[in-house]
Structure 1
Amino acid sequence: MAFQFQGFDHIQLSAPVDSEEKARAFFSDILGMNEIPKPDNLKKRGGVWFEVGTQQLHIGIQKDFSPAQKAHPAFQVKNLDGLREQLIQNDIDVIDDEPLEGANRFYVQDPFGNRIEFLERI
């Protein structure tokens, strides 16, 4: 094989037009992700980018936006219970799901209705 996968570089979620401030409030202020600058040539598209460990989360603006209700990113975290408390304190509904062997997990919806999973390996 001439190539080899090395992991994910970034995940992109869509959001409606003019939603960058809502994205910052959720992903940066509540979840604590660090915003990173978009390249100058891409700024005109709108959206906002965040650093997640060694990967990135890109929130892209979509004119005919429709939230991802089944497809979703899953973020691995330490102290899942602490994250749950942080989300609840910010009036964000935490949705428990069926157990997953080797992990504790739950889902939330971002401010735009996209499904997001958080899990902690045990």
Structure 2
Amino acid sequence: MKSILLVSLILSSAFGNAQVIVNEVDLNTNVEAFEVYLMAKMFNTKESIFANTGSNDFKIQNYDTKRQAIFNAEGKKFEKGEYLNLYTYLMSQGWEEGTKRNVNYGDSTGTCIMFKRKKA
């Protein structure tokens, strides 16, 4: 019993203050939902990953800027083609996938996925 308690204490302390960061804002504490965009330019096999948190300065054409990039608690950016890593990380942080829609902008096509906080 003591070992189970110790393991759960270690896990909760390891993930208790983890973060999902966009534009230096921790989404875990500041938003209830946000959109993840996966956009591929023509002749590119990897999709760019970026977020719309509802800010007024969001621009779909700026998906390679740091302002819309998604970072983990250690400050590592989720790079092009790393959606599965991002998805796994978001699930571990208490987010769940919502609706999906196709998105087109110029010669770029992609998918927009809504993520919202899991209900307790």
Does TM, normalized by the shorter one, top 0.5? no
TM-score between both structures, scaled by the size of structure 1: 0.30
Bigger share in helix: 2
Higher RCO (Cα < 8 Å, 6 or more apart): 2
